[in-house]
Amino acid sequence: MSLSKTTIGPFELYTVETGDFRLDGGAMFGVVPKTLWSKALPADEKNRIPMTMRCLLIKSNNTGKVYLIDNGAGTKFNEKMEGIYQLDQSSKNLKNSLQEQGFDFDDVTDIIFTHLHFDHCGGTSFYDDNNKLKLTFPNADYHVVDTHWENANNPNAREKASFLPENINPIKESGKLKLVKENHEYEPGLSSVIANGHTIGQQLPKIEHDGKVLVFAADLIPTHVHVPLPWVMGYDMYPVQTLDEKDTFLKQAAEQNWNLYLEHDAHKEIIRIQQKDGRFSVSETLTLNDL
């Protein structure tokens, strides 16, 4: 596994790969017909498409903080769940990725959760040899948007399956939870963009310096195939709101040449966007090494 890295102003950025998995292609593309999406992402015999869990580590040379954005699904899945999602951490996993980039669990001071669905926060804790839940990052504070924390702890019946108690409870009981407001600024040059369509209170971390911008696109743009406006996930709680948020977000990305860091795309790490005749498309594919 070869991981990429770069520097934007005072921020050192490192790719952290935490594993691969598969999700139902129909759920990932909602009302878009399989005959269209399967051309870009062919499904397996169970109609699942390849996905990854790509996180981002940010070391700030201004504050000394080491931020980790999301941390994957973790290791708490039983055999049945591993089979459903075909979770594979044999070549990519959180510990190995951090070590390859020169970090360990103890080095992380802050975890910024885009949201608390299982594939974004499961790595926060693990079962020890006595089957007790332990925290993976002993020195880290956990940052969650306040409206999302309320939603995660009081989910509707449709979203409940994504908020697993074994993921949420260790965060709740850690004493290290930091609730933030929408569009929070963590420090100069590191802020977040809010997006409520997928789930209430999802935050997309944004790094910027001297006109260069990298946005962690999370589940607003999970893969490069989701760039066209109508290509919205069936998982989204409020798909019409996602449409509006994507339109605003992608217009800014195209006009200001943003670099969009893709969390779930198994093949593309960073994309840039262009707009032509009212349609958005990928203009360029990069990695952190290219920035």
Residue listed under structure tokens 């992608």: 250
Under a CB-based contact definition with an 8 Å cutoff, are residues 189 and 181 in contact? no
* Helix pair 165-173, 146-153: axis angle to 10 deg: 130
Domain contains 270: no
Q: What is the CATH number of the domain that holds 88?
A: 3.60.15.10
Mean pLDDT (the chain) is: 97
Instruction: Determine the Cα angle at 275 with ends 273 and 276, to 5°.
Output: 140
Q: What percent of the chain has pLDDT over 70?
A: 100
Q: Write out the two tokens for 23.
A: 């999700």
Domain contains 122: yes
Domain contains 27: yes
pLDDT digit string (tens) for the chain, length 291 residues: 589 999 999 999 999 999 999 999 999 999 999 999 999 999 999 999 999 999 999 999 999 999 999 999 999 998 888 889 999 999 899 999 999 999 999 999 999 999 999 999 999 999 999 999 999 999 999 999 999 999 999 999 999 999 999 999 999 999 999 999 999 999 999 999 999 999 999 999 999 999 999 999 999 999 999 999 999 999 999 999 999 999 999 999 999 999 999 999 999 999 999 999 989 999 999 999 999
Single out the residue of 180, 185, 194 nearest to residue 145, CA to CA: 180
Under a CB-based contact definition with an 8 Å cutoff, are residues 204 and 195 in contact? yes
Q: Write out the two tokens for 274.
A: 């262009």
| pLDDT the model gives residue 185 | 98
| pLDDT the model gives residue 1 | 58
The pairing of beta strand 279-286 with beta strand 270-276: antiparallel
pTM for this predicted structure: 0.97
Domain contains 248: no
Domain contains 217: no
Single out the residue of 10, 33, 60, 70 nearest to residue 222, CA to CA: 70
Percent of the chain that is helix, strand, coil (3-state, to 5):
25, 30, 40
Domain contains 262: no
- 190-212 pLDDT per residue, tens: 999 999 999 999 999 999 999 99
Single out the residue of 194, 193, 197 nearest to residue 226, CA to CA: 197
Domain contains 237: no
Single out the residue of 225, 190, 184 nearest to residue 202, CA to CA: 184
| pLDDT the model gives residue 224 | 98
Domain contains 183: yes
Range of the domain at 194: 5-208
Q: In total, how many domains does the chain have?
A: 1
| pLDDT the model gives residue 205 | 98
